């Protein structure tokens, strides 16, 4: 089984560069969380370890939290691009 959300998370590093638009990141996070959720039933049927399922839930939760936070910043504060000052937080 190929887990494509990993590719999405890898691309987020480039998508969140200073001055980059926020909207594609919000969309990518929603897609990645949805893909992880969609993979869960197959792992349950394959009797995957509880640890792996727990990690999938953690990743899904983190992606959704970040998605919701960025969407809120875009909606309430009008954030449309990543501030170059964020780079100093890395």
Q: What is the pLDDT of residue 71?
A: 92
* pLDDT range class, residue 87, cuts 50, 70, 90: low
**pLDDT bucket at 42, cuts 50 / 70 / 90:** confident
**78-83 own/partner pairs: CB under 8 Å, 24+ apart:** 79/22, 80/21, 80/22, 80/23, 81/19, 81/20, 81/21, 81/22, 82/16, 82/17, 82/18, 82/19, 82/20, 82/22, 83/18
**This prediction's pTM:** 0.60
Q: What is the mean pLDDT of residues 62-67?
A: 90
Q: Could you give the CA distance from residue 83 to residue 44 in angstroms, rounded to a whole number?
A: 41
Average the pLDDT over 5-25 and give the result.
75
- With both helix axes pointing from N to C terminus, report the angle between 5-15 and 50-76 in degrees, rounded to the nearest 10: 30
The whole-number pLDDT of residue 1 equals: 46
């Amino acid at each position: 089984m190929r887990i494509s959300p990993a590719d999405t998370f890898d691309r987020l590093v480039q998508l969140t560069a200073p001055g980059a638009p926020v909207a594609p990141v919000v969309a990518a996070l929603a897609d990645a969380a949805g893909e992880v959720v969609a993979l869960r039933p197959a792992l349950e049927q394959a009797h995957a370890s509880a640890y792996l399922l727990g990690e999938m839930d953690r990743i899904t939760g983190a992606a959704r939290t970040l998605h919701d936070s960025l969407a809120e910043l875009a909606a309430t504060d009008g954030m449309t691009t990543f501030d170059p000052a964020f780079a100093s937080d890395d």
